[in-house]
Structure 1
């Protein structure tokens, strides 16, 4: 595998840690990094990841992405690799993995590594990979037929988050648009937020889906300051169907949202595009270039 000079330098610094003053290392390591740590949710490249995870990650790194958010963990494996194997691949490419997506397990009870099946192992494996966040990514339609379902999920999130916290990480919930559709006169999103401990359960705000549901991300930040450490950054076509679009090519004013990052408490953001009309690698390259023009720091 070819290593870039930056990565080689970082590895050299880490190898020389015993012979070098530890206090100097963070400064040296910072010099080897670009100032922007733009992230990518790998679900965008799900077909490519299924065929060739290592080769796909290499292309992600070559575009310029520094962080990836995972999906599809099951039974102790990330894309068919053990935590140790997958961690080695990421380190060789200079990619950090601050976050990963998980499901409740209620729809697929036999899958191991969900909130309701073998959760402790999933937490331990995420910690071994260096994750800082574990995110419940989605509630399947049959899991949320009534408002009371959301109240039960709030309880499950609190319990799951305790295990995550004990391992030194943070639990989050990722929205779509259905949480903003009224049920019995209430928004399910409000039920989830009010029913969970604000310290235990944070939010990963999907900027596209919130906007799609006619919610203003900035208003959400101001209503719940500090509760949105993670964002999904994806754009919306300027068409009647409002389809997914590469960042910077659609209708969402991302600079306005990034200007409120401190209000949100944002620490990491990930480009994502659920469906791409262009080849997915081309789409994420466009998104990367356009995010690079924004003032995000």
Structure 2
């Protein structure tokens, strides 16, 4: 019988002892159950074939959706009840919606500054849990005082959504991290809004594009980020949009900090696709399912 060195024995013993632990860890390392999609990615397809596009989204495996384009009481030309029924038929749950502040477009109904109560009522009919200000137009953010006014507007808008049982939030791009008079506008939005009334939907692509570390943002503002956008960055000089899992963003590291963030839902989004958008969201879905999410 060949003798075994002490070093080899200890190494083999350590490996044997670790196997049960690894097996237990594998049990908890599960892919996400309810992968969401921000429908803006499919804006052209939805305009041409609403039902057919939603059917394909469901067939890929997505369970939750985030809406955009609400205007004058309609979602994609349908009332809240009609659109909700359509989504239910495809086993898609509407969780969140994107809305505009309306300062630059005062005539548009359904914004934070024009017919907001009806927008909230329709969101409640649809069963939305979150209503987010999606974007600030250049004319709405010329100086820091503009951001301060928007912080006040967000607090006011959130009071209305709260009464309907809906959480208000803000979705970023990169410009909020560009300093103005030595301050980051995003920091103003964080500090001058009520942390319970106004949450943040962190767009991971735009945060990284601006040179921010999402995990550090989570640590600095724990519990403030119930929503994120999963959007990858191409490994190229242009750093343009890419399918989740094909670019440079370490999503697993970010999702590992999900509890610190207060993360509850996430949505795949790709502003611009080089391949057919339905093909792009299928690639993203497959790669998201390889991630471990503990929220």
Q: TM-score, length-normalised on structure 2?
A: 0.89
CA distance in 2, matches of 1:212, 1:138: 16
- CA offsets per residue over residues 218-245 of structure 1, 9 Å max, x none? 0000000000000000100000100000
Residue from 240, 257, 265 that aligns with 1:243:
240
- CA offsets per residue over residues 157-193 of structure 1, 9 Å max, x none? 0000000001001000000000000000000000111
Whether 1:225 aligns to 2:222 is: yes
Whether 1:293 aligns to 2:295 is: no
Q: Which residue of 2 aligns with 1:29?
A: none
Q: Which residue of 2 aligns with 1:259?
A: 256
Say which SS state the counterpart of residue 138 (structure 1) adopts: coil
CA distance in 1, matches of 2:165, 2:32: 26
Q: Which residue of 1 aligns with 2:100?
A: 103
Residue from 61, 66, 76 that aligns with 1:64:
61
Q: Which residue of 1 aligns with 2:145?
A: 148
Structure 1 gap ranges (5+): 1-33
CA distance in 1, matches of 2:199, 2:99: 15
Q: Rg: which structure is higher?
A: 2
Pairwise CA distance, 1:35: 5.8
Whether 1:165 aligns to 2:198 is: no
Q: Is the deviation greater in 173-182 or in 102-111?
A: 102-111
Residue from 34, 41, 46 that aligns with 1:44:
41
Count of aligned pairs between the two proteins: 264
Residue from 182, 197, 202 that aligns with 1:200:
197
Structure 2 gap ranges (5+): 1-30
CA distance in 2, matches of 1:55, 1:137: 26
Pairwise CA distance, 1:128: 0.4
Would the alpha carbon gap of residues 255 and 82 (structure 1) be closer, same or farther in structure 2, given more than 3 Å must change?
Answer: same
CA distance in 1, matches of 2:128, 2:48: 24
Pairwise CA distance, 1:54: 1.2
CA distance in 1, matches of 2:173, 2:80: 29
CA distance in 2, matches of 1:190, 1:88: 39
CA distance in 1, matches of 2:248, 2:289: 18
Q: Which residue of 2 aligns with 1:55?
A: 52
Larger RCO, structure (CA 8 Å, separation 6 or more): 2
CA distance in 2, matches of 1:41, 1:280: 12
Say which SS state the counterpart of residue 289 (structure 2) adopts: helix
Whether 1:134 aligns to 2:119 is: no
Pairwise CA distance, 1:116: 0.2
Pairwise CA distance, 1:51: 1.2
Pairwise CA distance, 1:208: 0.3
Whether 1:76 aligns to 2:67 is: no
Say which SS state the counterpart of residue 101 (structure 1) adopts: strand
Q: Which residue of 2 aligns with 1:114?
A: 111
CA distance in 2, matches of 1:272, 1:216: 19
- CA offsets per residue over residues 92-151 of structure 1, 9 Å max, x none? 110001100000011111111000000000000000000000000000011100011000
Say which SS state the counterpart of residue 103 (structure 2) adopts: coil
Say which SS state the counterpart of residue 192 (structure 1) adopts: helix
Residue from 202, 206, 213 that aligns with 1:216:
213
CA distance in 2, matches of 1:180, 1:133: 23
What's the Cα RMSD here?
A: 0.8
Q: TM-score, length-normalised on structure 1?
A: 0.88
CA distance in 2, matches of 1:54, 1:130: 19
Q: Which residue of 1 aligns with 2:3?
A: none
